[in-house]
Amino acid sequence: MLDVFGPLEIFGARPEAFSITLIGPDAGAVASNQGPAAVCNYAYAEAPECDIVLVPGGMGTRRLVADETFLRWLAAWADRAEFVTSVCTGAALLAAAGLLDDRRATSNKQAFRWVVTTSDRVKWVPQARWVVDGRCWTSSGVAAGIDMALGLVAHLSGEEDARGVATHVEYEWHSDSSWDPFASVYGLEDIESSPSA
């Protein structure tokens, strides 16, 4: 749930700059793996265009990564966005949809070895809190999405504004995107960044 609501807390702290819409298989309640439901404003088929697409991770990505209908929809819908972002294993969905082709990206470190199997067209980065490559922003696991969201706020409206948001929500922002204590926890420190990491 933090994959979704961590970044939304950051964007929601600046309502004058960001309007948040939740999209799911159907409008209405969608259960999380943790139990509580999130309420989606639109079904995929009715989803409006967005400037920033955020694809969260979680256990549902294991099923969706093989859902060709979903992947075609995601590729077409997200292609019109100014920024395409992911948290955790959401990168697997972006990769499988072809949205990360020939770009650098990262993902959750515990699931990293699985995520890299979803596309050999991606330059997977094993040691990074988040990675920016053009319009694509991908973050490591769960809480790293908050750091990435603050990084995007800094990119759009300046570091001072991002630090103001972090202070407002009483969050200690890890603003160095290369800071990644979890790559070594999961034995990824010796993996080189490459299309087939």
Cα–Cα dist 151/3, whole Å = 15
165 vs 34, which has greater pLDDT? 165
pTM of the full predicted structure? 0.94
For the purposes of burial, counting CB atoms within 10 Å of the CB of 153, is it exposed (0-12), middle (13-18) or buried (19 or more)?
Answer: buried
CATH of domain 50-185: 3.40.50.880
Q: How many helices (H) and strands (E) does the chain have?
A: 8, 10
Q: Tell me what pLDDT residue 194 has.
A: 53
Active site residue 40: no
Q: Tell me what pLDDT residue 195 has.
A: 55
Q: Residues of the chain with pLDDT > 70: what percent?
A: 97
Question: Catalytic pick from 40, 50, 88, 136?
Answer: 88
Cα–Cα dist 158/165, whole Å = 11
Cα–Cα dist 122/96, whole Å = 10
